[in-house]
Amino acid sequence: MPEIIKIGILAPIDFFSQELIKTINYKNDNFKAEFCKVDALRLNLENPYKLILDRNSHYIEYYQAYLKNAYLQGTCIINNPFLFLSDDKFYNYTLASKLKIAVPKTICLPSKAYHLEIKEKDLHNLVYPLNWEKIVDYIGFPAILKPYDGYGWLNVYKVNNFEELMQTYNQSGEQVMLLQEYINFQNYFRTFVIGKKYVLPIKYDPYERRCIFSGQNLSAGLEEKIIKEAQLINRALGYDFNVVEFAVRDGVPYAIDFMNPVPEVKIENLSQEYFYWVIEHLTKIIFEYLKDENLNYSKLKILAKN
């Protein structure tokens, strides 16, 4: 009998994860998907899974140690555990702009407050006070103020004038913040990208955080541009499962948010059609990765070849 290859799903118990496991197991008898079982770790503990889909390590720090160990044992991990932990939105915007992709004007701001152990002499490299007049002249109002490493629309604020900006920034504590041009968009698309190549743009309401199903309003040229740029962003970032959000103003898609390597996948927000598109294409890329020996992520095997 052929060897059964195990696939681990590191995720909460939800409908998406359960449907993904069911689909993988239905489509190929040689693969067995299941929720990961994570015990205490010892050095070089062999991992039973050939591939792990990670949807939980950003919440539970212990899982980060588990995934890094699995990586060293040769397990393929979606997404690579070393990428999201070292990523931030300012880097992402800079990278996208280098790739000639339209992004909002953005400034990264130092934290308003610091831990008590940080003394004034530790901060002598910072230019202070900030030249707010120059910053505001560049960004304009309204503007968006948000954490440079945030996700899930947490602590994202629209500020309409300088007073609102100062009030919000002064309450941001130790967070490093981004001040960003507000794109007054005509259309907004939440775009799933799987395996850096399978792309699904969906018309989206970012305020209600739900998909809009009454017509996509996506011309052939705009769709082609969104697909191409979403692929380009994910190839540059190295994400295998991600969402890129585009705000379209005057026909130009601006990449607004693309640090979403644990994208929300809820059937009630996506519709059955789009939900199962994600399931099908994620299953497809998992199978492709398992059949490609070159996608073994083990650093030790790379070193051994050299």
Return the CATH number at 159. Answer: 3.30.1490.20
Name the domain boundary from 138, 153, 181: 181
State the Cα–Cα distance between residues 258 and 255, nearest whole angstrom: 7
Q: Residue 160: helix, strand or coil by DSSP?
A: coil
Q: Let me know if residue 93 belongs to a domain.
A: no
Return the CATH number at 45. Answer: 3.40.50.20
Q: Let me know if residue 121 belongs to a domain.
A: yes
DSSP category for residue 3: P
How would you write the pLDDT of the chain (306 residues) with one tens digit per residue? 678 999 999 999 999 999 999 999 999 999 999 999 999 999 888 899 999 999 999 889 999 999 999 999 999 999 999 987 778 999 999 999 999 999 999 999 999 999 989 988 999 999 989 999 999 999 999 999 999 988 767 889 999 999 999 999 999 999 999 999 999 999 999 999 999 999 999 999 988 888 887 556 678 899 999 999 999 999 999 999 999 999 999 999 999 999 999 999 999 988 899 999 999 999 999 999 998 865 554 444 444 444
Do residues 198 and 170 share a domain? Answer: no
Q: Let me know if residue 235 belongs to a domain.
A: yes
Q: Domain residues for 299?
A: 5-85+290-305
Residues paired with 157 in a beta bridge? 145
Measured from the Cβ of residue 3, the count of other Cβ atoms closer than 10 Å reads 7
32-61: burial string, b at 16+ Cβ within 10 Å, e else: ebeebebeeeeeeeebebbbbbbbbbeeee
Residue 215 near residue 203 (C-beta atoms within 8 A) = yes
Cα of 49 vs its chain's centroid, Å: 23
Do residues 215 and 160 share a domain? Answer: no
Do residues 232 and 252 share a domain? Answer: yes
State the Cα–Cα distance between residues 114 and 148, nearest whole angstrom: 16
pTM to 2 decimal places: 0.91
State the Cα–Cα distance between residues 59 and 81, nearest whole angstrom: 13
Q: How many domains does the chain have?
A: 3
Return the CATH number at 252. Answer: 3.30.470.20
Q: Let me know if residue 116 belongs to a domain.
A: yes
